[in-house]
Amino acid sequence: MQALILKAYGKSGALALGEVARPVAGPGEILVQVHAAGLNPIDNAIPKGDFKPLLKFALPAVIGSDLAGVVVDTGAGVSRFKVGDAVFASVFDTGRGSLAEFVAVSEHAAAHKPVNLDFVQAASIPMVGLTAWQSFHGHARLLPGQKVFIPAGSGGIGSFAIQLAKQMGARVATTTSTANVALVRSLGADEVIDYKQQDFTQVLSGYDVVLGTVRGDGLEQALKIVRPGSHVVSLIGPPTADFARQRGMNVVFRLVMGLLSRKIRGLAKRRSADYSFMFVRPDGGQLAEIGKLLDAGAIRPVIDQVYPFAQAQEALAYLDQGRAKGKVVVQMVPAA
C-alpha cells in the first residue's frame, strides 16, 4: 500500500510517498481503509526531529495523526465495530501514522463517524477536538461563566476550541488578523482582538483559562491577563517535570524539562496561576462525545484546503506556512 514515509529526521528528501506492507488488525484492533487524513502542525514538527525525545518512532515510519475511513477487518476481541462501519480516530503517539491507505487502529481510539459529516470533515476533527476536550475538561476544568482566552482563533485548534468553550458555557476571547475577524465571530468568540490593530494585554483582564497555542512570547504575555487561581494550559511547551514523570521518563529528562519550564512556571506562580503542558492522547470515548456535538450541529468543522493523496507533501508545506483558516485535509478516496 502507499503511505507517506519518514526515513530520517531533519533531512531534505527524507519524507516521501512510498510502498509499505499493508498492516493487519491485531487483537483489539480494527483495520481501517483511510478515506481522508487531517493534518496538524505536529505532522511537520516530527520530521524535523522536534519531538524525538517525546515520541518514539521506528524509522522508517508512516506519519500523520488523524483519519476517517471504513473498517475492512477486525482483530480478535473487537466488540464496538464491525466491517463496513465508518469511523474516525487519532493514532497520535501510538507509533503509527494516518497518511496511508490502511491503518490498524485500537478500537479504544476510534469512534463512529458523525452521520452528518463526510470523511474529509470527520478527518479534520480528532486531534483538535481531543486537544480542546482534554484541555478544558481535564487540565483547566473549565466551568460555565468563566472566561477563556484562545489565541489564534482562526487556526485548526482555535477554530474548534472556541466552539467547544462556548458549548461549555464560557465567555471566549481570541486574537486573529483583520481578514479573519468575521470567521472567529461566527464561531462564537465574544471578544475578538485584531492583533494588527491592538495589543490583547491592553484590552483583556481577569481570565480564568488560557490555552497556549502560539509560539514565542505569547504565553508570557497571556499571563498578564489572568486572575488568581487561573489555569494556563500550553499546547506548545515548554514541557514540565510532571509531564516527564507521567510519561515514565528518567530522572535526567525530568530535570531537563523542569529547567525548561522554570521561567514560565515562575511567572505563573507570581500570578497565582497553575501552569501545565498538554499532550493529547487518543480516546474513542471522548471522540464519541465530540461526535454527538458535531451530529447536533453544535460544532462545525472548519476546513481551509483539501489535497489529494499524491500531493500530501504539498499539503504539509501549505500548513507549515501558518496561514490556514481551520484545517488542511488529505483525501485518499474521492467522494462518491
Do 79 and 20 sit in the same domain of this protein?
yes
Cα-only R_g, the chain: 20
pTM exceeds 0.75 for this model: yes
- Confidence (pLDDT) at 14: 86
Do 252 and 137 sit in the same domain of this protein?
yes
- What totals of helices (H) and strands (E) does the chain contain, helices first? 11, 16
Closest CA to 273 of 315, 224, 314: 224
- Confidence (pLDDT) at 6: 94
81 vs 136: CA distance, rounded Å: 28
- Write the CATH number for 103: 3.90.180.10
- Confidence (pLDDT) at 199: 94
| Beta carbons of 236 and 279 less than 8 angstroms apart | no
169 vs 171: CA distance, rounded Å: 7
- Confidence (pLDDT) at 168: 98
Question: Is 41 among the domain residues?
Answer: yes
Do 115 and 176 sit in the same domain of this protein?
no
Closest CA to 129 of 329, 284, 315, 328: 284
Split into its structural domains, the chain has a count of 2
pLDDT over threshold 80, residue 217: no
Decide: residue 135, CB within 10 A, 0-12 exposed, 13-18 middle, 19+ buried: buried
Closest CA to 238 of 218, 211, 255, 258: 258
pLDDT (mean) for 56-84: 95
pLDDT over threshold 90, residue 58: no
Do 258 and 179 sit in the same domain of this protein?
yes
DSSP per-residue letters across 295-332: HTTSS---EEEEEEGGGHHHHHHHHHTT--SSEEEEES
Do 53 and 181 sit in the same domain of this protein?
no
Question: Is 243 among the domain residues?
Answer: yes
Question: Is 295 among the domain residues?
Answer: no
Query: pLDDT, tens digit, for every residue of 108-140?
Result: 999 999 999 999 999 999 999 999 999 999 999
Question: Is 33 among the domain residues?
Answer: yes
Question: Is 289 among the domain residues?
Answer: no
pLDDT over threshold 70, residue 234: yes
pLDDT (mean) for 65-71: 98
Query: pLDDT, tens digit, for every residue of 161-200?
Result: 999 999 999 999 999 999 999 999 999 999 999 999 999 9
pLDDT grade, residue 270 (50/70/90)?
Answer: very high
Instruction: Print the domain residue range for 203.
Output: 128-277
Do 237 and 108 sit in the same domain of this protein?
no
Do 244 and 325 sit in the same domain of this protein?
no
When comparing pLDDT for 306 and 54, which is higher?
306
Do 66 and 105 sit in the same domain of this protein?
yes
Closest CA to 95 of 158, 36, 26: 26
- Write the CATH number for 240: 3.40.50.720
| Chain mean pLDDT for the chain | 94
Question: Is 291 among the domain residues?
Answer: no
- Confidence (pLDDT) at 216: 67
Query: pLDDT, tens digit, for every residue of 310-333?
Result: 999 999 999 999 889 999 999 999
Do 171 and 239 sit in the same domain of this protein?
yes
Question: Is 13 among the domain residues?
Answer: yes
Per-residue b or e along 298-335, where b marks 16 or more CB atoms closer than 10 Å to that residue's CB: ebbbbbbbbbebeebeebbebbbeeebbbbbbbbbbee
Do 163 and 95 sit in the same domain of this protein?
no
pLDDT over threshold 80, residue 208: yes
pLDDT over threshold 80, residue 336: no
Question: Is 296 among the domain residues?
Answer: no
User: 46: which residues sit within 8 A by CB, 6+ positions away?
Assistant: 6, 55, 57, 63
Query: pLDDT, tens digit, for every residue of 157-169?
Result: 999 999 999 999 9
Do 146 and 241 sit in the same domain of this protein?
yes
Do 165 and 262 sit in the same domain of this protein?
yes
- Confidence (pLDDT) at 328: 98
